[in-house]
């Protein structure tokens, strides 16, 4: 009897050992989210100084046609982390702290890694604000708290204290600040330092890690140490030429106001069309300064990865949660289906894969979940609606998707939009009846700023017929 028991235990111990060895040999994942970052980076052709983003691009792959599923923080992030479209979950708001109550059984990205042997650590903005441990506490092994300040200058703090525009909410200070302070005075610099220290700690662990780091800049307010402002001359900044909207673009679907800017102490209820030149240039300057500040903070994290001997066995993925308007369409912020709001920067560097690779195939942020599972050798949950694009890291010309699908609600209307080839096609549906209330087709080669609606142009009739069917199919697929 004892000998039979021993014979049964030995294979189990061997299998357990082999499984433990298999898990230990899996790649780590460094998962970096950046808030409100459009592809305004050197490696995407912009004149913003971003040496660390550019270095990451040179060592991995950049995706020039990557799209979010909804151009607002919370909805975009929940979609990515759950692997489900907002159309499916109904999660459309920026503030999604309670989404887990509505979807208690959904296996999130880091939850899937945790269940298959990974040590999962989070810090910064991964869902909304710094609410990761509040939303999904059981599925983070550690959540790192980060200190640091939001403002440095006395006048900024006074303006914040005196701002009553947000009754019942934390008051906002000025929309910009340039102060002679160290990199780690502000919270973003502290976050980079915490991430670097955590990487040193994780390098000594036996289990592979999934480390999520969420940078908030260049989200408003545009606050960065003065040296990043000094990288640019303010008079060099000019407003975009696409100040209008396409004919037929319904008023309820635009973000014609200043968006979240109105809550800041130095803005108020002023239409962006009435912003003086000096304010426009200050905001453009501030966005660029914050992007360069985030570039520095990214560099701190990537250097820590190398210093601790982790770079060769770590998948690095960096994504922006949505795009952003910098005065485009006489507006600021996000909250629409325009190309500049839905297109995002995306980088993937994986062990054994090529560097300096540009992938021009359309991909969606929802595709990251299955992609990371495949690259890590993990089983992916059956509920995922995204498609792995791991093959593109070796064969960038391989077909992945025909279209990229995004949505945005405005009141009683839902905007459904796709990027298909040279076109962006958007329909607005009455959310109760389903009736199509407006349609816009833009040719992004002829009209990259999206100012002309060619939906009734006979020259584009065949293309319109194709994209209408594609969008209908994408909506139906997202609801399954």
Residue 282 tokens, joined: 């200050």
Q: Is 290 tagged catalytic?
A: no
Q: 129: left (phi > 0), else alpha (psi -120 to 50), else beta? A: left
The DSSP symbol for 205 reads -
- Please, are residues 184 and 148 in contact by the beta-carbon 8 Å criterion? yes
Beta bridge pairs of residue 416 = 407, 427
CA angle 74, 76, 82 (to 5 degrees): 95
Neighbours of 42 (CB within 10 A): 18
Given the residues 128, 329, 416, 460, the one annotated as active site: 128
Query: How far is 181 from 361, CA to CA, in rounded Å?
Result: 42
What is the spatial distance between Cα 477 and Cα 246, in angstroms, rounded to a whole number?
Answer: 28
- What's the rounded Cα separation, in Å, for the pair 301 and 32? 10
Show the DSSP H helices in 83-136 as ranges. 86-89, 99-102, 109-115, 132-135
In the three-class reduction of DSSP (H, G, I as helix; E, B as strand; rest coil), residue 159 is classed as: helix
Alpha helices in 334-426 (DSSP H): 339-342, 368-376
Task: Mark whether 416 is an active-site residue.
Answer: no
DSSP β-ladder status, 325-326 and 314-320:
unpaired
User: What is the per-residue burial (b if ≥16 Cβ within 10 Å, else e) of 298-323?
Assistant: bbbbbebbeebebbeebbbbbbbbbb
Q: Environment class of residue 448 by beta-carbon count within 10 Å: exposed (0-12), middle (13-18) or buried (19+)?
A: middle
Catalytic residue among 73, 120, 290, 333: 73
Catalytic sites, residue numbers: 73, 128
């Amino acid at each position: 009897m004892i000998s039979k028991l021993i014979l049964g235990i030995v294979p189990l111990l061997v299998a357990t050992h082999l499984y433990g060895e298999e898990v230990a040999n899996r790649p780590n994942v460094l998962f970096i989210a950046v808030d409100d970052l459009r592809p305004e980076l050197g490696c995407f052709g912009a004149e913003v100084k971003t040496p660390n983003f550019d270095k990451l691009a040179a060592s991995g792959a950049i995706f020039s046609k990557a799209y979010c599923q909804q151009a607002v923080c919370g909805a975009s992030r929940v979609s990515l982390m759950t692997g489900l479209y907002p159309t499916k979950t109904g999660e459309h708001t920026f503030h999604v702290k309670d989404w887990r109550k509505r979807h208690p059984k959904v296996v999130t990205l880091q939850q899937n890694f945790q269940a298959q042997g990974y040590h999962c650590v989070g810090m910064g903005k991964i869902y909304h604000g710094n609410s990761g441990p509040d939303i999904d506490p059981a599925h983070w092994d550690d959540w790192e708290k980060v200190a640091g300040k939001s403002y440095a200058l006395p006048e900024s703090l006074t303006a914040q204290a005196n701002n009553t525009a947000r009754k019942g909410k934390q008051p906002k200070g000025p929309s910009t600040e340039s102060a002679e302070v160290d990199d780690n005075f502000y919270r973003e610099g502290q976050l980079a330092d915490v991430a670097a220290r955590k990487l040193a700690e994780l390098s000594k662990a036996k289990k592979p890690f999934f480390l999520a780091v969420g940078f908030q800049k260049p989200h408003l307010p545009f606050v960065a140490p003065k040296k990043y402002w000094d990288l640019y001359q303010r008079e060099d900044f000019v407003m975009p030429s696409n100040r209008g909207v396409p004919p037929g673009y319904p008023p309820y679907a635009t973000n014609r106001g200043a968006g979240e800017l109105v809550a800041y102490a130095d803005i108020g209820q002023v239409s962006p069309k009435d912003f003086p030149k000096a304010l426009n240039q200050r905001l453009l300057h501030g966005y660029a300064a914050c992007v360069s500040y985030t570039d520095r903070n990214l560099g701190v994290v990537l250097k820590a990865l190398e210093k601790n001997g982790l770079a060769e066995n770590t998948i690095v993925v960096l994504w922006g949660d949505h795009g952003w308007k910098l005065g485009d369409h006489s507006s600021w912020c996000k909250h629409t289906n325009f190309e500049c709001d839905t297109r995002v920067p995306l980088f993937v560097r994986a062990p054994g894969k090529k560097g300096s690779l540009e992938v021009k195939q359309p991909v969606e942020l929802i595709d990251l979940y299955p992609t990371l599972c495949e690259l890590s050798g993990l089983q992916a949950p059956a509920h995922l609606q995204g498609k792995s694009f791991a093959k593109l890291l070796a064969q960038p010309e391989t077909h992945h998707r025909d279209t990229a699908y995004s949505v945005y609600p405005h009141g009683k209307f839902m905007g459904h939009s796709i990027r298909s080839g040279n076109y962006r096609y958007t329909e607005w549906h009455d959310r109760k009846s389903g009736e199509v209330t407006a349609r816009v087709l833009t040719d992004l080669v002829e009209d990259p700023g999206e100012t002309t609606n060619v939906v009734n142009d006979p020259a584009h009739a065949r293309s319109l017929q194709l994209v209408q069917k594609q969008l209908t199919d994408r909506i139906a697929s997202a609801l399954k």
